[in-house]
Amino acid sequence: MSAVRDTDLEGRPEEIRAVPVRHPGRWIAAAIVLVVAVAIVHSVATNPRFEWDVVGEYLFDERILEGLRITVELTIISMAIGVVLGVLLAVMRLSPNPLVSSASWLYIWFFRGTPVLVQIIFWYFISALYPKIDLGIPFGPAFIHGDANTLIHPFTAAILALGLNEGAYMAEIVRAGIISVEEGQSDAAHSLGMTRLQTMRRIVLPQAMRVIIPPTGNETISMLKTTSLVSVIAVGDLLYAAQAIYAVNFKTIPLLITASIWYLVCTSVLYVGQYYLERYYGRGSAREEALTPVQRMQRLLLIRHEQGGGAAGL
Amino acid sequence: MSEPMVLAEGVHKRFGRNEVLRGIDLTVPRGDVLCLLGPSGSGKSTFLRCINHLEKINAGRLSVDGELVGYKLVGDKLHELREAEVARKRAEIGMVFQHFNLFGHMTALENVTCAPVYVKRESREEARTRGRELLERVGLADKIDCYPSQLSGGQKQRVAIARALAMRPKLMLFDEPTSALDPELVGEVLEVMRGLARDGMTMVVVTHEIGFAREAASNVAFMEEGVVVEEGPPAELLSNPRHERTREFLSKVL
C-alpha cells in the first residue's frame, strides 16, 4: 500500500517503452485469410447463377414473411413448452421418490432416443392411433373431447412434437444446472426456514441459471432450424414457404438463400438476447459485471481520451 | 423459564453403518454459550446439524425450547413433523456455516432480507430497514450492495451472521465459523460473536478457537468419536482437564 502512495506523490513512474517483438507469421496468415475472403465474396457476388435480384425480390415477399412468422411462433412456443417441461422433469429426476424419478428418466430416454422427425410424423398421424381424444380425469369425466383430426391439426402436431422432444433435452440441461449449485446453499436456505420448493425457486434455480442459459441459447438456435422439419407435415414455415414458391418458378437456389438469410437474422437476434440474459444471471458471480457493447465502446473512447489528456499533462 | 434451550439425551446418529453420534447428553440453558471442542470427525458438526433437523437422529431425544426436534408426541407415539412444520421450527434457529454459504446471486442486503420476506412474509421495506441495521451492527454498513464475491471471508461470515439474526432466532448455531478464514480475519468475526453472547443470545458453537471458548463460553464440552468425553465451565475444563484425552487434545491446539 505504502509503495503505491509514494508513487502517487511523485507522479507516475516512467512507463516502459520498448521495441515490440515483430510477428511476421501473423501478417502472412492475415494476408492469406484476406485473399481467400475476397475471392469468396467476389465469386458469390459476380456469379449470376446466384440470382441475387431474385433473392431481393422475394426477401420481403408476403408468403416468405408469413412463413417466417410461423417459424418464429413454432420456435417460441416449443421452447417455452420445452423449458417448463425441462424444469419439471429435472426436479422430478432429482426427487427422492423412485417412481417419480424413474418416470422422468423413462420420458427422457424415450424422447431423446427417437428422431424428432419421426416424432413429428407420429403426432401428425396420432388420429390413426386415437381417433377420439378425451381430456379429463383418467377413467373419470372428460372436459374436452372431440375428433383427433380436428383437435390436432398440423400446427398443433408440430408444437407437440417439438415441445415434448425439447423437454427431454432441457431436462438434462436444467439438471446439470441444479447439480452445479453447492449443497451448502440448500443447507443455508433450509436453516432459514425455507421449504424445499422455496429453496428451489428462490435460491437454487436462480444460481443454476448461469449454467443453464448458454446451452439453452444453443437449444433455441437449434430449435429455430429444427422447425424446418415441420415442412414434411405441411406446416407453412419459412422453408415450406420457400419450397412452395420454387416449386412453381423453379428458382430453387435464390429462394433457399432467401430463407437462409432470414434464419441468420433470427439467430443473430437470439445471440444478442442470450448475451444480455447471461449478463443478468451472471450478476454476483464475476467481480465486475460484464459490459454491454455500448458501455464497452464508451469506456474505450474514455480511456483513449484520458490517455491523451495524461500525455498532454506530462 | 427453567426449561433449557437445548436438551439432548442419548442422541445417536448413523450414516449407513458409520455411527457418528453414540449417545450425546448435553443441556444448554437459556442465555448460555456452549462451545463444542474436539478433533475432526468427532461428530461436533453432525450434532449441530441435528439440532435444527438438517440431519435426522436415529435414537435418543433432542428438544429445543421444550419441543422435540423433527417429531411430535401424540399420546405415547412419535409422529414425524411435516415439512412446513420443520421449516417453521428451523426459522427460529439461526445457523452459521464454516463456508458461509451466502447466496451468490444476492447482494449482502438481499441475503439478509430474503428469509424475513419469503419465510416470515415481512414487508420488503420493513425487512430492508432491519437488514441495514443488522449489517451496521456487524460493521458492514458500507457493503450492503456488494455481492458475496466482492467481500472478504471475514465480511462474508459477518453477513452470514446478520442473515441468521434477521429471523430473530432464539438460538444460534455456529459450525466452525472461523475455520475457513485467514488468521487476520478471525478476530472481526469473533468480536461479533462475543457481542451476541453479551446480549444474552443462546449459542452452540463448534470451534477450534480456545481463546474464544475461554472468554465467551458458559460451558465447554470436549467430544471424541461421537461421545462427550467431558463437560464443564471453561476455566475448569481448559485449565484442568480431568481426562487424559482432553489434555492431549488441548496441548496440541493451544
The answer to whether A203 contacts B115, with C-beta atoms less than 8 Å apart, is: no
Q: Give me the mean pLDDT over the A135-143 stretch.
A: 76
Mutation target for A interface from B81, B88, B101: give the one with most A CBs within 10 A. Answer: B101
pLDDT tens digits, residue range A54-80? Answer: 999 999 999 999 999 999 999 999 999
The answer to whether A192 contacts B54, with C-beta atoms less than 8 Å apart, is: no
What pLDDT is attached to residue B3? 86
What pLDDT is attached to residue B24? 95
A193 near B119, Cβ under 8 Å? yes
Percent of chain A with pLDDT over 90: 65
B29 near B38, Cβ under 8 Å? no
Q: Give me the mean pLDDT over the A294-305 stretch.
A: 72
B252 near B230, Cβ under 8 Å? no
Question: Which residues are CB-contacts of A188 (< 8 A; sequence separation ≥ 6)?
Answer: A203, B95, B97, B101, B102, B103, B160, B163
Counting one residue from A and one from B, how many pairs have CB atoms under 8 Å apart?
A: 80
Asked if residue B99 has pLDDT above 70, the reply is yes
> Distance between CA atoms of B47 and B56, rounded to whole angstroms?
10
pLDDT tens digits, residue range B40-83? Answer: 889 999 999 999 999 999 999 999 999 999 999 898 899 999 99
A314 near B136, Cβ under 8 Å? no
Reading the block at residue A165, the C-alpha cell is 422432444
CA distance B26 to chain A (A): 21
Q: Where is average pLDDT lowest: A128-137, A175-184, B172-181? A: A128-137
Q: Give me the mean pLDDT over the A131-145 stretch.
A: 76
What pLDDT is attached to residue A279? 87
Q: Give me the mean pLDDT over the A211-216 stretch.
A: 92
Q: Where is average pLDDT lowest: A8-12, A169-173, B88-92, B196-200? A: A8-12
CA distance B16 to chain A (A): 17
Asked if residue A1 has pLDDT above 70, the reply is no
Element (H, E) at B221: strand B219-224
What pLDDT is attached to residue A133? 77
**What is the SS3 assignment for B78?**
strand
Of B95, B147, B163, the CB nearest to A284: B147
**What is the SS3 assignment for A9?**
helix
pTM above 0.90, yes or no: no
Which residue in chain A is spatially nearest to B151 when comparing CA positions? A287
What pLDDT is attached to residue A138? 77
What pLDDT is attached to residue A311? 42
Q: Based on C-alpha coordinates, what's the Rg of chain B?
A: 18
Element (H, E) at A100: helix A98-113
What pLDDT is attached to residue B35? 96
pLDDT mean across residues, chain A: 87
Asked if residue A2 has pLDDT above 80, the reply is no
Q: Give me the mean pLDDT over the A174-178 stretch.
A: 95
Asked if residue B166 has pLDDT above 70, the reply is yes
**What is the SS3 assignment for A141?**
coil
Asked if residue B106 has pLDDT above 80, the reply is yes
Asked if residue A10 has pLDDT above 80, the reply is no
What pLDDT is attached to residue A300? 73
Asked if residue B162 has pLDDT above 60, the reply is yes
A93 near A175, Cβ under 8 Å? yes
> Distance between CA atoms of A258 and A255, rounded to whole angstroms?
5
Q: Give me the mean pLDDT over the B224-246 stretch.
A: 93
Of B88, B90, B148, the CB nearest to A191: B90
The answer to whether B101 contacts A188, with C-beta atoms less than 8 Å apart, is: yes
Q: Give me the mean pLDDT over the A192-209 stretch.
A: 94
Q: Which of A127, A155, A156 is nearest to A236 (CA)?
A: A155
pLDDT tens digits, residue range B112-149? Answer: 999 999 999 999 999 999 999 999 999 999 999 999 99
* pLDDT category of residue A177 using cuts at 50, 70 and 90: very high
A207 near A185, Cβ under 8 Å? yes
What pLDDT is attached to residue A3? 46
Percent of chain B with pLDDT over 90: 92
**What is the SS3 assignment for A209?**
helix
Which residue in chain A is spatially nearest to B91 when comparing CA positions? A193
What pLDDT is attached to residue A297? 76
Q: Give me the mean pLDDT over the A239-262 stretch.
A: 94
Asked if residue B5 has pLDDT above 80, the reply is yes
Strands in B202-206's sheet, in edge-to-edge order, are B93-96, B171-175, B202-206, B33-37, B219-224, B227-232
Reading the block at residue B246, the C-alpha cell is 482432553
